[in-house]
Amino acid sequence: MDRSDYLKEKLKQSLENEEDLMRSYLIIAEKVHNNEELQTRLREFAEGNAKRSQQLIHELNQFH
């Protein structure tokens, strides 16, 4: 595996991690009913993950 392949693989792993976290935060936020502040923070965390995911996708597209 050359350096470029290694970097692509790490970026793909990071993207998967960000997407998993985003889903988890949204699922938890939907289950929180008695704490609006926590619900808001969890959704904001998910938005941050979505933005990082888009950045990672952009970086991965640079390899094609």
Backbone conformation region of residue 32, classed left if phi is above 0, alpha if psi is from -120 to 50, else beta: beta
Q: Is the pLDDT of residue 63 over 90?
A: no
For residue 64, pLDDT over 80 is answered with: no
pTM for this model (two decimals): 0.89
Q: What's the pLDDT tens digit per position in 47-60?
A: 999 999 999 999 99
Instruction: State the DSSP code for 34.
Output: S
How far, in whole angstroms, is CA 23 from its chain's centroid?
8
Nearest alpha-carbon partner for 18 in 60, 40, 62, 39? 60
Q: Report pLDDT digits (tens) over 7-46.
A: 999 999 999 999 999 999 999 999 999 999 999 999 999 9
Look at the chain and count its residues: 64
d(CA 1, CA 40): 42
Residue 12 CA to residue 39 CA, distance in Å, equals 28
pLDDT in the model for residue 7: 95
